[in-house]
Amino acid sequence: MDPINKINTKKDSTLAMLKEASLRQWELVYFEQGDLFSRSGDPNGIGRPLTLQDAEQWYQLSEEKEYHLGDFDFILMRKDPPFDVNYIYATYLLEKAEQSGAIIVNKPQSLRDCNEKFFATSFPQCCPPLLVAQRADLLREFLQTHKDVVIKPLDGMGGESIFRIKGEDENTSVIIETLTQHQSRPVMAQQYIPEISNGDKRILLIDGKPVPYSLARVPAQGELRGNLAAGGSGVAQALTARDYWICEQLAPTLKEKGLIFVGIDVIGDYLTEVNVTSPTCIREIDSAFDTNIAALLMDALESRLSV
């Protein structure tokens, strides 16, 4: 996971998982990405046993110890993007741990394969009109066809570098040049969905089954993006019939790919992203509806031990 001393204890989803695992008296060991290594082909890590406590200093880390990663029942990968080359190297190590018997959440190969923007294109029946391209002429043609579009990088998070272009915007050329780095990197263009004013809904799925509530991230006044990191406000709400239908479309593929814990983003009636690296919003939904999403996840993991 990311440095434990920097997480937001009021809303961090990883902390919700740690608390639930601790209640079940699971042995917890803390690693950061740089603690993983391979020795003679064996996946290892320098970890620190972790215990939670009811105090201002809410956690305690014991002395460092070397572990063989294949000896763990479960390894949860909770490293936030950016999804860079170091992240990819970590998935290679975790794949070795998986081959040695550990269950990795989520499956390392699928973490590499399922780019959170591009993966949504696997479900065109759920998505708005969209284009993934780096050529400026193709992006301009998409804009001319749909008139009002959102363009974003394939590797962004938290609403970073998302632009809306309407009609003959005089900034169109510079936006395309900037995001594609002068036509050297592909980006995603989607038809603008007006229902963003009602929120960008985060829906969590465990083993392909949706939690019955979502968190709608509503943009701040004058803002395009609903991301909480961009100033959006969270409104928890029950799933709609359309939300459930979208989840049904994704479920078989998620299960096939070993994507145990996933967060999808839905605006209006459309799927826009499939988050597989480090889905959040557990705490906000739990607080609003007295759910225990981390417990559902741990139940799903425990069921794998009995198979």
Integer Cα distance of 279 and 264 in angstroms = 8
Residue 225 annotated in active site: yes
> 181 Cβ partners below 8 Å, 6+ apart?
none
Crossing angle of the two packed helices 282-289 and 13-23, in degrees rounded to 10: 70
Integer Cα distance of 305 and 296 in angstroms = 15
Per DSSP, the three-state class of 252 is helix
Q: What phi and psi values does residue 82 have, to the nearest 5 degrees?
A: -75, 145
Residue 275 annotated in active site: yes
Residue 185 annotated in active site: no
Residue 64 annotated in active site: no
Residue 166 annotated in active site: no
Catalytic residue among 107, 225, 257, 283: 225
> In b/e form, how buried is each residue of 96-113, taking b as 16+ CB within 10 angstroms?
bbbeeebbbbbbbbbbee
Catalytic residue among 217, 243, 283, 284: 217
Among 93, 86, 121, residue whose Cα is nearest residue 108:
93
Residue 217 annotated in active site: yes
Catalytic residue among 201, 275, 283, 286: 275
The DSSP code sequence of 152-177 is EETT--TTTT-EEEESS-TTHHHHHH
> 11 Cβ partners below 8 Å, 6+ apart?
280, 283, 284
Residue 265 annotated in active site: yes
Catalytic residue among 79, 117, 201, 283: 117
**CA distance to 12, 155, 289, per residue, from 18 (Å):** 10, 27, 20
Residue 44 annotated in active site: no
Is 43 within 8 Å of 36 (Cβ atoms)?
Answer: yes
Among 100, 157, 106, 103, residue whose Cα is nearest residue 273:
157
Catalytic residue among 98, 207, 265, 286: 265
Per DSSP, the three-state class of 19 is helix
Catalytic residue among 79, 96, 107, 152: 152
Catalytic site positions: 117, 152, 202, 217, 225, 265, 273, 275
